Chains A and B, each alone.
Chain A
Amino acid sequence: MKVSDLPPPVERDANFNFAYLDERTKRMIRRAILKAVAIPGYQVPFGSREMPLPYGWGTGGIQVTASIIGPDDVLKVIDQGADDTVNAVNIRRFFQRTTAVAVTSVTTEATIIQTRHRIPETPLHDGQVMVYQVPLPEPLQKLEPREAETRVMHGLADYGLMHVKLYEDIARFGHIATTYDYPVMVDGRFLMAPSPIPKFDNPKMHMNPALQLFGAGREKRIYAIPPWTSVESLAFDDHPFEVQRWSEPCALCGATDSFLDEVITDDRGGHMFVCSDTDHCRLNRQDDDR
C-alpha cells in the first residue's frame, strides 16, 4: 500500500527523545487525557510545556499527539483541511524529525489525525484518534472573561448566558450568526468549544467512532469526546442548528457535500470554490478517473 503521496521522510534527529517530550511529561499529559475522557467535555488543566513551536500555533495539539504517538502509528496532519499548508507541513516535519513514524495524507490510513480548523470529510473509524489544536478552550470566555467565574458556571451547568448570546443573534440578524467554533453540549452536561472548525463540521463530532482529543497549549487545558458520545450544537427549538451550504459544487472534483474554500482567480471578481479537504478532493477525482 502506498502510505503517502507526501514528500520523503525527514531524518530522525537522535538528539531528542521520541516525540520530543520527556517520558515524565508524557505521563502527566496522558493522565490529563484519561481524566478528560472520563469527564467528556470538561476542561482538564495540565502542565503545558513550552514547545519548540510558538504558543497559538498548535502546541496543545502537538503535546497531545506527542504523548499518545507510538512507533507504529501513522500520522496525518492537516490545517484548514489541507495536508500541504505551511503550518501542517511544519508540524508533520516536527514529528517526522522526532519520531520517524509513517505519515500519510489519506484519512482512512491514519491512526492519529492532528488538525487545525477542520474535521475530514471522510468518515472516521473505530480506533482512530482526532487531535484538535485549540486556541481558546473556554466557550464562555467572550461572555465572561474571568476564569474563576466560568469555572463555577461549568460546575453548576449554568449556561443561560450562552443562550442569551444566541438569542441576541436571532433578534439582530434573524438567525444564529456564529459560523465557526460553534458551541456544543457534550454528553448533555458540559458546554464545549469545538475549536475553530466551521459549524459545517459540528455534526461529525456527534456519535463519532473515533476518540476526539482537544489540546490548548497556551491556555493549558485538555478535553475530550470519547467515541460514541452525544455532541449537540446549541440552538432553539424554533431556530434549529443548520450548517452552511454552497450553491455550486467543488470546481475540481464536483463534490456537493463538502466544505468549500473560495479561491480568487483574478482581480475582476472572478472566483471559484474548491474542497477545503484536499484528500477528499483527490479521492473524488481518482474515482472519476476510474
Chain B
Amino acid sequence: MTDNPPLLRVQGVTMHYGARRAVDDVSFDLWPGEVLAVVGESGSGKTTLLNAVAARVKPDAGRVGFMTRHDGMVDVYSMSEAQRRLLARTDWGYVHQDAVQGLRMNVSAGANVGERLMALGERHYGRIRTEAANWLQRVEMDAGRIDDTPATFSGGMRQRLQIARNLVTRPRLVFMDEPTSGLDVSVQAKLLDLLRTLTRGLSLAAIVVTHDLAVARLLAHRMMVMKEGRVVETGLTDQVLDDPQHPYTQLLVSSVLQP
C-alpha cells in the first residue's frame, strides 16, 4: 500500500481558538481506499481537524495536499475558491452528523441526490432521475420515495439520503463527522453495515470522526487517537484497540469495555 503515493497528505495542521490550540501540529497520510477513524472525547479537536482537512475552515498553520486526478498533489488551500468548490462536489463528500445540515430539507430526495449532477452541468431530467433512483437503491432506500422531502424521513433514512447525495459523483474521499450518532442502536448497526459495504465496494477512502470505538472497529483500517488537540496514538485499528499503548487510549478502551 505504501508504494503508491497517498491520496491525502496532512502536514502540521494547527488551529487556535483564542490562546488555546484546538488542533496542534497534526500530520498524517491517507491512501486510496483507506478508511481512517479519528477518535477522542468531545473537545479533543477531532471535528476541528476534520473541517481543516476538508477545506471548510482554513487552519492557522499547516498544509493539506490532495492527489488530484490531473494535476498531482495540490495544496487545497492554494486552490482558487472555484477549484475548491468543484473538488468538494466531485471528488470529495462530506457527511454531517446532523443530516439537516447536509440536505436540502424542503427539496425532494431525487433533487437532493441530483443536485451535484446538475451543478456539474447535467441537463437531462430523465437521466438525473434514473441516477437518483439508482443511488437510493444502493443506500437501501425505497426508490418510490424519490419525490418525498427529507422532512418526512426518519433519522436513519435521512443519513442514507445524505450518503447517496455525496456518492452520486463517485468521489474518492469522503469525510464523515459522527455519521451514526444520534440514531437508535439497531439503525446504527444497519447504517454501519451499509457504510462498510459502500467503502469496500467503491474503494472509497474516508476519514470518520467518532467518539464511538465500535464505529472505528467496524469501519476503519487505521485509527488515530486525539487528546487536547494532539495525536497521542495511531496505528492499525485492531492493534490500537487490542493493545493500546498510550494511557489515554487505554482509558478510552477500558471505559468502553466497562461501561
Please measure, in the bound complex, the distance between the C-alpha atom of A238 and the C-alpha atom of B118, giving whole angstroms.
14
Are A172 and B147 in contact, with the CB atoms below 8 A? yes
Please measure, in the bound complex, the distance between the C-alpha atom of A170 and the C-alpha atom of B116, giving whole angstroms.
18
Are B115 and A168 in contact, with the CB atoms below 8 A? no
In the complex, chain A residues 140-167 whose Cβ is within 8 Å of any chain B Cβ: 152, 155-156, 158-161, 163-164, 167
Does B128 count as interface, using CB distance less than 8 angstroms?
A: yes
In the complex, chain B residues 55-114 whose Cβ is within 8 Å of any chain A Cβ: 81-82, 85, 104, 107-108, 110-111, 114
Known contacts A168-B111, A171-B110: A160-B85 contact under CB 8 Å = no
Are A167 and B124 in contact, with the CB atoms below 8 A? no
Are A164 and B82 in contact, with the CB atoms below 8 A? no
Closest chain A residue to B89 by CB distance? Answer: A160
Known contacts A152-B81, A158-B85, A238-B125: A164-B107 contact under CB 8 Å = yes
Q: How many residues of A are in contact with the other chain, CB < 8 A?
A: 19
Are B125 and A164 in contact, with the CB atoms below 8 A? no
B113 to chain A, nearest CB (A): 10
B257 to chain A, nearest CB (A): 47
Residues on the B chain within 8 Å of A235, using CB: 123
Are B111 and A164 in contact, with the CB atoms below 8 A? yes
A-B contact count (CB 8 A): 55
In the complex, chain A residues 192-246 whose Cβ is within 8 Å of any chain B Cβ: 235-239
Residues of A within 8 A of B (CB): 152, 155-156, 158-161, 163-164, 167-168, 170-172, 235-239
Does B183 count as interface, using CB distance less than 8 angstroms?
A: no
11 pairs, CB–CB < 8 Å, chain A vs chain B? A152-B81, A155-B82, A156-B81, A160-B115, A167-B110, A171-B108, A171-B111, A171-B146, A236-B125, A238-B124, A239-B125
Does B119 count as interface, using CB distance less than 8 angstroms?
A: yes
Most buried by B among A158, A163, A237: A163
Are A164 and B126 in contact, with the CB atoms below 8 A? no
Residues on the A chain within 8 Å of B214, using CB: none
Residues on the B chain within 8 Å of A156, using CB: 81-82, 85
Residues of B within 8 A of A (CB): 81-82, 85, 104, 107-108, 110-111, 114-116, 118-120, 123-126, 128-129, 146-147
14 extra A-B contacts, CB within 8 A, seeds A156-B85, A171-B129: A152-B81, A155-B81, A155-B82, A156-B81, A161-B115, A163-B118, A164-B107, A167-B111, A167-B128, A170-B125, A171-B146, A172-B108, A172-B147, A236-B123
Residues on the A chain within 8 Å of B111, using CB: 164, 167-168, 171
Please measure, in the bound complex, the distance between the C-alpha atom of A168 and the C-alpha atom of B111, giving whole angstroms.
7
Are B118 and A160 in contact, with the CB atoms below 8 A? yes
Please measure, in the bound complex, the distance between the C-alpha atom of A172 and the C-alpha atom of B116, giving whole angstroms.
20
Residues on the B chain within 8 Å of A239, using CB: 125
Closest chain B residue to A170 by CB distance? Answer: B125
Residues on the B chain within 8 Å of A171, using CB: 108, 110-111, 129, 146-147
Closest chain B residue to A157 by CB distance? Answer: B82
Are A160 and B123 in contact, with the CB atoms below 8 A? no
Closest chain A residue to B86 by CB distance? Answer: A156
Residues on the B chain within 8 Å of A168, using CB: 107-108, 111
B112 to chain A, nearest CB (A): 8
Please measure, in the bound complex, the distance between the C-alpha atom of A236 and the C-alpha atom of B120, giving whole angstroms.
14
Closest chain B residue to A160 by CB distance? Answer: B119
Residues on the B chain within 8 Å of A155, using CB: 81-82
B55 to chain A, nearest CB (A): 15
Please measure, in the bound complex, the distance between the C-alpha atom of A127 and the C-alpha atom of B124, giving whole angstroms.
38
Are B124 and A236 in contact, with the CB atoms below 8 A? yes
Known contacts A156-B81, A164-B107, A164-B115: A237-B147 contact under CB 8 Å = no
Most buried by A among B104, B107, B118: B118
B86 to chain A, nearest CB (A): 9
Residues on the A chain within 8 Å of B108, using CB: 167-168, 171-172
Are B126 and A238 in contact, with the CB atoms below 8 A? yes
A233 to chain B, nearest CB (A): 13
Residues on the A chain within 8 Å of B124, using CB: 236-238
Please measure, in the bound complex, the distance between the C-alpha atom of A236 and the C-alpha atom of B85, giving whole angstroms.
23
Closest chain A residue to B119 by CB distance? Answer: A160
Residues on the A chain within 8 Å of B82, using CB: 155-156
Please measure, in the bound complex, the distance between the C-alpha atom of A156 and the C-alpha atom of B120, giving whole angstroms.
12
Please measure, in the bound complex, the distance between the C-alpha atom of A235 and the C-alpha atom of B123, giving whole angstroms.
8
User: Which of A160, A167, A237, A238 is within 8 Å of B116, CB to CB?
Assistant: A160
Are B120 and A167 in contact, with the CB atoms below 8 A? no
Are A237 and B110 in contact, with the CB atoms below 8 A? no
Residues on the A chain within 8 Å of B85, using CB: 156, 158
Closest chain A residue to B116 by CB distance? Answer: A160
Residues on the A chain within 8 Å of B147, using CB: 171-172
Known contacts A152-B81, A156-B85: A167-B114 contact under CB 8 Å = yes
Residues on the B chain within 8 Å of A236, using CB: 123-125
User: Can you list the 5 inter-chain pairs with the closest CB atoms, starting with the nearest?
Assistant: A160-B119, A163-B118, A236-B125, A160-B118, A156-B82
B117 to chain A, nearest CB (A): 8
